[in-house]
Chain A
């Protein structure tokens, strides 16, 4: 058994749908694209697909992942990655587009377990380049950063400082800045919005875009599916 791993976007209006909605859209889109997904056994069989880390509703992304489990028959004679990709793209709603596609063995970690960090691009308002630079330096010069988080109805105080791997200003705007930040996902996901709110309650986030989901091995940052290694067919072919 192997799986088809797809990297796709969630951009624009569709950012307002939830993770479960995305799953349902995939189930329907794969049927529309005539991809023979394996089904679980039992009284109420479900198609076997699994996702990377859930993206909070309202966030956009250029790095969403889904693994689609397929029987070996699928990879025989007529298998054509480009056609598959074209069909999936046609079936997906606007705002969700395939960026890369690849075939993987299913023996490894699930996507959710494998991802150690996410890279986020965040448009922040209510600050200036200079002010944010001070905030940023203060954050990196301190050893700890405690955040209150709710878990199963209890408020827990957790130190998330080590989950903030990097944070850089990439653009300067009249009313704020755009930053790029890599945040660890273990033991639990740290959302950029929660982090920013914690370090300065005046900050407001206008747009949050997930750029990468990464597996960390030593100094290596590995993408589940790199666009360079598994490029999507160019758009004109898709038309």
Chain B
């Protein structure tokens, strides 16, 4: 079929980082298209470097290409210099695999994992010559699908997509392919586009926004419910695969020719998290916990290293140190045959239950930084957010890191959390100061980098009712921290732009009234808003004003239990009364133990879907289920979490104060 490569190579030399557009990765699939197969273009609406490593996209890429009724290729948002040149030369968005035009695909499927990329969705549609609004598309246009964590509240971009898929995509992409390939092979007059969408809407986990009516009254959402059609569920439940072991993907992880983020072998060891951090949407919406069998993890790592030539592997999950038998896996991976050293990293939320003794063992090839995420400056506030790490847990972890040769430690915090006082905020600097004090026992000039993000309340979390801190309040707290940090030698403070936090807040809990706002921001050139060099808060404020919408109303005000939330018709399986109770507990400074080893709180994630947590170990890991109350120093081993600086999207827009 048609490839745009000949046209592209004429000018790629004049484009920044042309390697973004050439494909050619090890693991790339150049599928054979045919009329009876549903052809998917999987689009990550951010740069190639950010999008390529995305595991979700790579998993679906392989699954769709293994099927008989579908093929899949990939695309990423072209950087601004490229899109300018493409428009000038009339070149549409294209796949990197075979450089096929986007408009030649049946399905454009977007992975949305952060709010600030929403305008890039519009940009990619426009570059694909596809009408922005779902209502303006006809039988000749591709179906536009969104997946990823942002689909738990797709309302702000609901008018631009044909369907959203909630939850795990492994099974549902096949069901969509089946329906589509059948539709393609039958005379299409039998079923028009609307009927096709209706058919998709009958699939569990699929939400078709155009079949639902959002009603507003006095500037408030009063209901979202199905229009007249039959068989459209009142509430769309997310999809959950019960056995991760049945899906050992990606089998051939893409190895890019050029540098990308997370440039290493990534093996997902479990999905879901029950630590119950109340600010964390990922932890809430991906329940229950489903572990990959240990032997499969080990074999995926070994095969992966052999095939890719990487010397670094990351065992990914929301909190990898919580994996049952993690010690076994680590030692098996580290003692494997091979002539070159290997580094292992465990992105993890724990600062409490893992041996730093293994940290130096884990990082043979090269030592990456150690990042700990206490998230809040005081124990009281950490109880509010249910991140149950005591000061001593942190100091023990830090001590072992410094004592084993690390000179730099990173700490990650949120500001603007519920019930936060200035004493809590300043507690961040006190923790950093104490950390440096410990460091001086081992090094002349230890350093600590403190990264501070502004808290954005997310749907399907206990904090979904919380009124976000205003831009001014966040800025005030940043200045408070900056002034205090200035007095501490060796402390480097970085912060997320509070203006970006405001925009994230609007979109996080926004509704359909934001569609024209997104369109306006995009029209004024507001793409790549997650990149500090392109972020422009004025575009957002102007567009909100023009639409008569108030930031206060979307972000800053507290919600009540009886308010209709824009995602009430979508379900991550969590009971609303569980979330509300957890919200009240938070306000009472009450922590909640991890339910893997304590009685069920009936959050709804397991019972609703008839799935149990799949955990190999019946006992909680050392340090206790949440690390509370148990001495972390046992038999000279100091427990700690090892993690990589992962917050790529979140920290792009940031300030630095040295």
Contact = CB atoms under 8 A, between A and B. Distances in A.
B13 A28 contact: no
Given A32-B309, A36-B339, A58 B23 contact: no
B340 A47 contact: yes
A16 B405 contact: no
A16 B365 CA distance: 29
Nearest to A22: B257
A18 interface: yes
A138 interface: no
A57 B309 contact: no
A31 B367 contact: no
A234 to B, nearest CB: 25
Contacts of A27: 309, 311
B8 to A, nearest CB: 10
A28 B24 contact: no
Contacts of A93: 24, 26, 257
Interface of A: 13-14, 16-18, 20-21, 24-25, 27-32, 34-37, 39, 43-47, 57-58, 91, 93-95
B293 interface: no
B19 interface: yes
A44 B366 contact: yes
Given A21-B257, A57-B13, A94-B24, 16 more contacts: A13-B9, A13-B22, A14-B257, A16-B21, A17-B258, A21-B19, A24-B259, A28-B309, A28-B310, A31-B310, A32-B306, A35-B339, A36-B340, A37-B340, A43-B405, A95-B24
A45 B341 contact: yes
Contacts of A37: 340
A185 B62 CA distance: 46
A44 B23 CA distance: 30
Contacts of B144: none
B309 A17 contact: no
Q: Give the bracket for the number of chain B residues in contact with chain A.
A: 20 to 34
Contact of A32 (B19, B23, B24, B308): B308
B367 A17 contact: no
B258 A29 contact: no
B300 interface: no
Name the prevailing secondary structure of the B interface residues.
loop
Interface in B258-299: 258-259, 263
Interface string B351-391: 00000000000000111000000000000000000000000
B12 interface: yes
Q: Which of B18, B21, B258, B309 has the most CB of A within 10 A?
A: B309
A116 B5 CA distance: 35
Interface string B302-336: 00001111110000000000000000000000000
Nearest to B255: A28
B22 A14 contact: yes
Contacts of A94: 24
Contacts, number: 74
28 contacts: A13-B5, A13-B22, A13-B24, A14-B24, A14-B257, A16-B12, A16-B13, A16-B22, A17-B22, A18-B19, A18-B258, A20-B259, A21-B19, A21-B258, A25-B257, A28-B310, A29-B309, A30-B309, A31-B309, A31-B311, A36-B339, A39-B340, A44-B366, A45-B341, A45-B366, A57-B18, A57-B19, A93-B24
Contact of A58 (B12, B306, B311): B12
Main secondary structure of the interface of A (DSSP, over half): mixed
A148 B595 CA distance: 69
B275 to A, nearest CB: 32
Nearest to A37: B340
B98 to A, nearest CB: 12
A27 B340 CA distance: 11
B570 to A, nearest CB: 42
Interface of B: 5, 9, 12-13, 18-19, 21-24, 26, 255, 257-259, 263, 306-311, 338-341, 365-367, 405
A229 to B, nearest CB: 29
B72 to A, nearest CB: 20
B279 to A, nearest CB: 34
A46 B19 CA distance: 24
Contacts of B26: 93
Contacts of A95: 24
Given A39-B341, A47-B340, A91-B309, A13 B23 contact: yes
A122 to B, nearest CB: 13
Most buried by A among B5, B24, B263, B338: B24
Contacts of B259: 20-21, 24
Which residue, of A13, A18, A20, A27, has the highest number of chain B Cβ atoms within 10 A? A13
A13 to B, nearest CB: 5
A52 B26 CA distance: 25
Nearest to B17: A18
Contacts of B366: 44-46
Rank and list the top 10 A-B pairs by shortest CB-CB distance, nearest first.
A28-B309, A32-B309, A16-B18, A58-B13, A36-B339, A31-B309, A17-B19, A44-B366, A13-B22, A21-B258
Nearest to A57: B18
Contacts of B24: 13-14, 93-95
A94 B12 CA distance: 19
A94 B26 CA distance: 9
A32 B338 CA distance: 10
A24 B263 CA distance: 10
B423 to A, nearest CB: 38
Contacts of A30: 309
Contacts of B341: 39, 45
B39 to A, nearest CB: 22
B401 to A, nearest CB: 14
Contacts of B307: 32
Contacts of A25: 257
B311 to A, nearest CB: 6
Contacts of B405: 43
Nearest to A208: B13
A91 B310 CA distance: 12
A20 B259 CA distance: 9
B17 to A, nearest CB: 8
A17 B257 contact: yes
B81 to A, nearest CB: 14
A30 B26 CA distance: 15
A14 B366 CA distance: 28
Nearest to A74: B339
Nearest to A29: B309
Contacts of B255: 28
B254 to A, nearest CB: 12
Given A28-B308, A45-B366, A58-B12, A34 B18 contact: no
Nearest to A96: B257
Contacts of A32: 306-309
Contacts of A29: 309
Contacts of B263: 24
Nearest to B364: A45
Contacts of B12: 16, 58
Contacts of B367: 43-44
Given A16-B18, A17-B257, A93-B257, A34 B308 contact: no
A44 B360 CA distance: 12
Contacts of B306: 32
B78 to A, nearest CB: 14
A160 B594 CA distance: 71
A29 B311 CA distance: 11
B111 to A, nearest CB: 24
Contacts of A13: 5, 9, 22-24
Nearest to A43: B367
Contacts of A47: 340
A31 B308 CA distance: 9
A92 to B, nearest CB: 10
Contacts of B5: 13
A45 B308 CA distance: 20
Nearest to B339: A36
Contacts of A91: 309
A21 B340 CA distance: 20
A14 B9 CA distance: 11
